[in-house]
Amino acid sequence: MSSENILEIQENKLKEILENNKGTLYGKKYNFDKIKTIQDFQKEVPLTKYENYLPYIEKIKMGEEHILTYEKVKMFELTSGSTSASKLIPYTDSLKKEFQSGIKVWLYSLYKKYPSLKFGKSYWSITPKIDFQPKEKSVIPIGFEEDSEYFGKVEKYLIDSVFVNPKDIKNEKDMDKFYLKTLSTLVAEKNIRLFSFWSPSLLLLMIEYLEKNSESILKILNKKRREEVRKYIESKEYYKIWKDLKLISCWGDSNSTEYLKKIKEIFPNTVIQEKGLLATEGFISFPDTEENLSKLSIYSHFFEFLSLDDNRIYNASEIEINKRYELILTTSGGLYRYCIGDIIKVISIKNKVPYIKFIGRRGAVSDLFGEKLEENFLKNIMQTYKQKIDFCMFAPSKNYYILFIKTDKKINIKDLESKLRENFHYDYCRKLGQLKEIKLFILTGNPEREYIEACQNKNQKLGNIKMTALSKESGWENIFTGYFQESEEK
């Protein structure tokens, strides 16, 4: 495929979106009917953030039509915002088709590369329906699209025929019952070939739940299977419960890396395939099973890339290997030149198509008094500690930071503080007395589970929850189980 072909594919996608929505309130405001080229589009239509869409979304909530899309909005999907508030993302049938265009290619390549998957069962992680009551008044439904709805008819038939999922598990609101029902079904089925999760931490939580609640789960099995599974649980040889497990699909980028390592240790004989980049707002990339990389889904949406080097905007045929960019999406869901906040790095270019990797979020910075603590800086600090760290997350409090950590060795607060003060702005705020010394909160419970449940209580979809090294929200000491480590100051 030539770069001209990629440009043509992307240009056609843009023209399709603009033609379909030129009669909308937004389309009329920005002269969609006069736009002929990508350059016209970039001149006429501004870069946007979620806040720019709030007045339009209010109109859609009240039942007004042809606001952002000429097509009817079926529902609002929830996703987390830059603050604790949730964002409402409009969903249309055309947006769903854009998701499906990427998913179809991935599924085809997956079953082509691993044909033995067809001869066993598959588990695709289902998002439970947490007890959610939208606060906003809206004539358009607000909630979560069922995960399987992203598949087309043929793909859904294929997946349903080999699904191993408890009956009505998607309607389970109690997380303890969700784990119990799911694991009871999974351990009863020997011939599982594929696990598909979003976050690898969820699989680790399931393994931990299986270990702690094994008797409740084992009692539903027949005698032979019960004795077999009990033996593997006691010896911690979990991979032997599903001896034919060929592939685990889950996130592997950014903050999922450490959890992925643990999964590889638990399932040493299983292929781990890292998922592509998928957001509530759009389908960005999918795993290429031949290249073992994540391929830009050029048929899904119109993509632009804001360079972190020169602050210029490039199209999909212009981006370069080893360069970093912020993603900009234009979709059939009514988002136009939308700065999604995801930073990607171009890993490779094959047949002129970019292969990308998610490396973090733009704006992953905490700034109470001008200290500008950036997530990657904090990650680098924690990597200097050569000890087992099961979980760590920094978060601000009133006038200090807290490191929430589960580890096998004590961390010296003075040492950690000195590493933080290598950041000029943090050191300056400490000298001025604006910030007090960091505190350590030693975690004694199950921080991954507590974090996930806290996010769900804020109306985040299970599949969208990612672990983070830096939370910009305070109050986690009221959520996590543990205690504050005493300061060395006496």
- The domain covering 1-361 belongs, at the CATH homologous superfamily level, to ANL, N-terminal domain (3.40.50.12780)
Residues of the chain with CATH 3.40.50.12780: 1-361
The Cα–Cα gap between 387 and 450 comes to 23
Give the model's pLDDT for residue 458: 80
According to DSSP, the β-strands at 75-80 and 86-91 are antiparallel
Alpha carbon distances (Å) from 361 to 198, 254, 345, 396: 18, 9, 12, 18
**Residues 422, 424, 427, 433, Cα dihedral to 10°:** -170
Which residues in the chain come in under a pLDDT of 70? 1-4, 80-86, 126-135, 144-162, 167, 254-255, 363, 488-490
Nearest to 401 by CA among 446, 83, 423: 423
Cα separation, 464 vs 456, whole angstroms: 10
List every span in the chain annotated with CATH 3.30.300.
Answer: 365-484
Q: Which CATH number fits domain 365-484: 3.30.70, 3.90.120, 3.30.1390, 3.30.300?
A: 3.30.300
- Residue 271, Cβ neighbours under 10 Å: how many? 15
333-390 pLDDT tens trace = 999 999 998 899 999 999 899 999 988 777 677 878 778 788 888 988 999 998 999 9
SS3 assignment for the chain: CCHHHHHHHHHHHHHHHHHHCCCCHHHHHCCHHHCCCHHHHHHHCCCECHHHHHHHHHHHHCCCCCCCCCCCCCEEEEEECCCCCEEEEEECHHHHHHHHHHHHHHHHHHHHHCHHHHHCEEEECCCCCCCCCCCCCCCCCEECCCHHHHCCHHHHHHHHHHECCCCCHHHCCCHHHHHHHHHHHHHHCCCEEEEECCCHHHHHHHHHHHHHCHHHHHCCCCHHHHHHHHHHHHCCCHHHCCCCCCEEEECCCHHHHHHHHHHHHHCCCCEEEECCCECCCCECEEEECCCCEEEECCCCCEEEEEECCCCCEEECCCCCCCCEEEEEEECCCCCCCEEEEEEEEEEEEECCEEEEEEEEECCCEECCCCCCEEHHHHHHHHCCCCCCEEEEEEEECCCCEEEEEEECCCCCHHHHHHHHCCCHHHHHHHHHCCCCCCEEEEECCCHHHHHHHHHHHCCCCHHHCCCCCECCCCCHHHCCCEEECCCCCC
Distance CA 110, CA 236 (A): 29
**CA pair distance 303, 316, nearest whole angstrom:** 6
The 324-330 sheet, strands edge to edge: 285-288, 293-296, 353-361, 338-350, 324-330, 302-307, 313-315
Q: Which residue carries 């949406």 as its tokens?
A: 301
- Of all residues in the chain, the percent with pLDDT exceeding 70 is 89
Helix axes 200-212, 257-266, angle to 10 degrees: 50
One-letter amino acid of 452: I
